[in-house]
Amino acid sequence: MRIEFTYARPQEYFREQRTQAGRAAAAPSLLGGVLLIPAGTAWGLTALLSTGIKDELALAGLALILIGIGLCIRAHDIWQDELTVPASWCTPRDWLITDEALESTTPIGSTTWNWAAIRYAVRIPHAYFFRAEEGGRSFDVPREPLTDEQEQALETFLVERGMIIDEPFRTR
């Protein structure tokens, strides 16, 4: 087997793959914000509408609201950071897939993955996702530039070696 192609992965390619990680990273801040805003509102309104309660308690409710808004803004920033990759990830990359290894080359360097080092592969909508045996490192091969024949050859190669798993992609 010999598959060669050049492809520049767009930002959207990575956004689709990293959505789950973005959600997981932003969730704690978003949850905190969503809980603090109504709690602060209830606290502040209760303090304002009740007699004999100091105005400082109403200000504490306002503080909770502001902290909640800050946490929601932080969740958005975390989400954006997770989904945006460096521009260098989107530069054209030359791929060479053979029976021995998979090689990916850019103007700044080259990486070769020997098939013996790969624990498993998962076919996801826009790529093949590979997990290495050591260190949990992972990499992907985009499916879009592959012809139907190339994709069939790669899939057959992976299935014959028992590398493809039929589970949905999960983060660890």
* pLDDT (tens digit per residue) in 21-76: 899 999 999 999 999 999 999 999 888 888 777 788 889 999 999 999 999 999 99
Residue written as tokens 């060669």?
4
73-90: buried (b, 16+ CB within 10 Å) or exposed (e) per residue?
Answer: ebbeebbeebbeeeeeee
Domain assignment of residue 62, given as a range: 11-83
Q: Is the pLDDT of residue 167 over 60?
A: no
pLDDT > 80? residue 149: yes
Query: What is the Cα–Cα distance from 97 to 74, expressed in whole angstroms?
Result: 41
Looking at 36, 68, 83, the residue that finishes a domain is 83
Residue 169 has pLDDT above 50, yes or no: no
Same domain, 103 and 52: no
78-114 pLDDT, tens digit per residue, is: 999 998 888 888 899 999 999 999 999 998 899 999 9
Alpha-carbon span 142 to 13, nearest angstrom: 9
Tell me, yes or no, whether 69 and 36 share the same domain: yes
In this structure, the answer to whether residues 72 and 94 fall within a common structural domain is: no
Domain count, the chain: 2
Q: Are residues 73 and 53 in the same domain?
A: yes
114 token code pair = 């020997």
Q: Give all strands (DSSP E) within the chain, no chain letters.
A: 2-7, 93-98, 101-106, 109-114, 118-124, 127-132, 138-142
Question: Residue 131 sits in a domain of what CATH number?
Answer: 2.30.29
Cβ neighbours around 156 below 10 Å, total: 12
Strand pairing category for 127-132 and 118-124: antiparallel
Q: pTM of the predicted model, to two decimals?
A: 0.66
